[in-house]
Amino acid sequence: MRHPDRHIFEHTHDSLSQWFAERGSPRFRAGQVLEWVYGKGVIDPDRMSNLSASDRAALAGGMTFASCSTIEHASASDGVQKLLVQWDDGASSGLPVLDPSRQTECVMIPSLPGESKIRKTACISSQIGCPVGCRFCASGIGGLDGNLSAGRIVEQVWMLGRLPGVERISNVVFMGMGEPLANFAAVTRAVRTIAAPWGLGIGARKITISTVGLPRAIERLADELELPVTLALSLHAPNDDLRRELIPWSEHTTIAELVEACAVWFDRTGREITLEYILLGGCNDSADQAKELAGVCKRLRCNVNLIRYNEVEGLPYHRPTDERVRRFQETLRERGVNTHIRASRGRDIAAACGQLRHERITT
């Protein structure tokens, strides 16, 4: 793998200033380079016209700008765009030999026509594969092949912002491949770059970190990440028995422990939790299960996003009927729970929630 300190997206303003100083160049070059990269979308040192020839040569010879190759770029009928990328191992140049163990997917989701707010949301991955192994999700089918560095997390947002018709990413969600809190240091460092004025400049309130639920990591996030991001908890079941069937990682964590950690999050940050609940037809979508979920919600300051299951070939789950989805929502709302049904986007290119995986797209 390439040394992370030589990857432009790993750098902060301070570290890049030091990089230039160590080479006898003015520290202010850092601000100029970061403006080229994040402000103008330029990653070719030869195009950075306000740098000296020697500084451009130093960057070209000593800094990695693009650390991945795009294997596939797919566009959905609803405007969603998906990238399958392969991360460079530094071993060779030119076209990469396809290696799923170094591939991730990320997605750009635009707002729908007629929506009151215009959004361009980057759904990004924090790991190659996923260790959680949710029974209904494609991302964990091949297990975990590794963590992504902070720079490679940031690079995904940068790449999605360069896609046709995007211009600027407005929101970021860590809802792609992987468990973000299992790659804690890299994710929190990436969030700081995404939010920084010298970086991507995306407001922290427009950044969502989604987790399957690691209580100690949730509390640590509340303590260590000073930015007001949104925390989303992937619950997917109203009780421990069903949750352990669906999410193997929940074997050693109870919903009560998650509720307690989320209460700590709210007390320390003042930010409500979003509960993500994928509705699996005939599995977790009954009115009685909605009532049980409402009991969990009453113990939290939270809102609930209901997500219809998006089919994954080879898995035994089914998309629920519209009637059962509406009834589930109504049951929650009747009990005072703020609940929304999230639209499934990008299903025709397998870019919807739960469909991302680290293998080549086939058409």
Residue 262, SS3 per DSSP: helix
Rounded-to-integer distance, Cα 357 and Cα 183, Å = 18
Q: What are phi and psi of 238, to 5 degrees?
A: -90, -5
Catalytic residue among 10, 105, 179, 276: 105
Beta strands in 245-297 (DSSP E): 273-279
353 is catalytic: yes
| Contact by Cβ (8 Å): 277, 235 | yes
**CA dist., res. 68 & res. 92, Å (int):** 12
Q: Are 265 and 218 in contact (CB under 8 A)?
A: yes
Q: Which tokens is 291 given?
A: 């009532």
List the one residue out of 349, 331, 351 whose CA is nearest residue 339: 331
Strands 273-279 and 230-234: parallel
Residue 68 annotated among the catalytic residues of the structure: no
Q: Cα separation of 120 and 107, whole Å?
A: 10
Find all residues with CB under 8 Å of 1, minimum gap 6, and list them: 89, 90
Beta-carbon count within 10 A of 241 CB: 8
Report CA dihedral (289, 310, 78, 208) to the nearest 10 degrees.
Answer: 60
Residue with tokens 């299903």: 347
Q: What are the residue numbers of the active site?
A: 105, 353
